[in-house]
Amino acid sequence: MTAAPAARLRGEPVARSVFAGLPARYDRLAYLLSFGQDRRWRREVVTAAAAASPRLVLDVATGPAGVALAVAARTGADVVGIDLNEPMLRAGLARVRRPGLPGRVRLAAGRADQLPFPDATFDAVTFSYLLRYVDEPAATIAELARCLRPGGVLASLEFFLPPQPGWRAAWWCYTRLALPVLGGLAGGRAWFDVGRFLGPSISAHYRLHPLPAHLAAWREAGLTDVGYRLMSVGGGLVMWGRKAAGPGS
């Protein structure tokens, strides 16, 4: 499928269509096309989740389960990964069922804005590259926080826009010009389409939802000690926060 302009791509249909052809080599190509930065960013998310000393973790927009497996390996927790993209989940299932893995990661289809879990189920919730694909980011953050136990940690990874003008210009050239070509050469038409879609979608998202709005949404969802770190001159954004303890907790 040819990616449409970012302004016309919103919500669940985007996540289903844009990434439908990617699962086979998703993690490998994401690593190559980000010059290895994607794995650094993910490690930061895992570190933030591990701060909760979790026993049960939810990984939302899990894709092929890279973060879910990393959380399980780092913390010893049981991990539930959900994603609405079934081809991605099938790729994840193949990974979590490999011989030698501890069997503590379970995957299921699900929507981030309508999680099928009771309140206060998880010690930590993680998500990656999610908020550009939901219609109401603040409502989605509130839904994720709902499933956190008091004192639990929410941690996330998203793309971002380098704040320094020189790096912003280099980022623009890479995402608009080089990324589609490199993606197409490395992964075929599906990666060309994603490469063409990615930069405009990031820019459009932060025009509508700038960083202060993200921080406010986390706090309004009942998260305290909200912090963030810009990664790789600002190409990545890692955020974290802890759910406030309720009365009597």
Measure the CA–CA gap between 174 and 221, rounded to whole angstroms: 35
Q: Which helix (H) or strand (E) holds 62?
A: none
Measure the CA–CA gap between 34 and 150, rounded to whole angstroms: 35
In the predicted model, is pLDDT for residue 164 greater than 70? yes
152 with 158: CB under 8 angstroms? no
pLDDT at 191: 75
pLDDT digits (tens, 9 = 90+) for 40-72: 999 999 999 999 999 999 999 998 999 999 999
Q: Which of 26, 51, 40 is nearest to 155 (CA)?
A: 51
85 with 22: CB under 8 angstroms? no
Q: Which of 85, 94, 43 is nearest to 61 (CA)?
A: 85
Percent of the chain's residues with pLDDT above 70:
85
Chain mean pLDDT for the chain: 87
Higher local confidence (pLDDT), 191 or 120: 120
Measure the CA–CA gap between 39 and 43, rounded to whole angstroms: 6
pLDDT digits (tens, 9 = 90+) for 206-238: 999 999 999 999 999 999 999 999 999 999 999
Structure tokens at 45: 């998310």
Handedness of CA 79, 121, 130, 162 (dihedral sign): negative
Give the model's confidence band at 130: pLDDT under 50 very low, under 70 low, under 90 confident, else very high. Answer: very high
Q: What are the boundaries of each domain within the chain?
A: 6-243
Rounded mean pLDDT of 1-12?
Answer: 38
Check whether domain 6-243 has CATH 1.25.40.10, yes or no: no
In the predicted model, is pLDDT for residue 179 greater than 60? yes
